[in-house]
Amino acid sequence: MGIALAEAALDSGHEVVVISGPVSLKYPPNAELFEVVSTEDLLHMCERVFPACDGIIGAAAPCDYRPEQISARKLQKNGEPLFIKLVETPDVIATLGASRLAHQWLVGFALETENHKNRAFDKLRSKKCDLMVLNGPAAMNSLHNSVDIVDHTGNVVASHTGAKNVVARGIVLEINRRLIHNSTPTHATRAC
């Protein structure tokens, strides 16, 4: 989905910066690419890059939790269960939302398995996003996606289903229409 969004934003005249975890696919070469591994790395890179951007599309699905301890050596099986303590990672979009400048726009992604629209709207408000793109687990490792776009009123303002590049064009179209108010498309918008 990140690749499709980068392509759609480039095609629409935006300048694009991608911050990505390790993936086996290639981003468009005319996007600027920063590679990260952990959720903490993702946040730090976003905090570095976002001040120079006009908006962000948060399509990454970073880990919500990390192990509290990481062993330097391989754990040997001993016949007993193993208990892993996981602690929450920082919320990248909420952190960026809390410090956003007046002219900056935020589009979040919510992947939900139940109470979809209520949760998406809750996330939009708590993370201070302008739009929330709601999708389900069927989007993962698939060439297709089906999304509802929720705005600040809590209403679904657009829905797109199909190949991810088609859905991405639909999302970028809504961003251009609803969030970008300058009259000329020459103003560079960077979508992270």
CB of 78 to a second copy, least distance (A): 9
Tokens of 180: 């970008």
CB of 84 to a second copy, least distance (A): 5
Tokens of 12: 């629409």
Of 75 and 102, CB closest to a second copy:
75
Of 32 and 122, CB closest to a second copy:
122
Could you tell me which residues come within 8 angstroms of residue 26 by beta carbon, excluding any fewer than 6 positions away? 3
- Give the strand order in the sheet containing 156-163: 32-35, 15-20, 190-191, 55-58, 105-111, 131-135, 144-150, 156-163
CB of 126 to a second copy, least distance (A): 11
Binding site for a second copy (CB under 8 A): 24, 64-65, 68, 72-77, 79, 81-88, 91, 111-114, 119, 137
Residue given tokens 């490792």 in the structure block: 141
User: For residues 82 and 75, is the Cβ–Cβ distance under 8 A?
Assistant: yes
Separation of alpha carbons 136 and 146, rounded Å: 8
Of 80 and 181, CB closest to a second copy:
80
CB of 75 to a second copy, least distance (A): 8
Of 52 and 87, CB closest to a second copy:
87
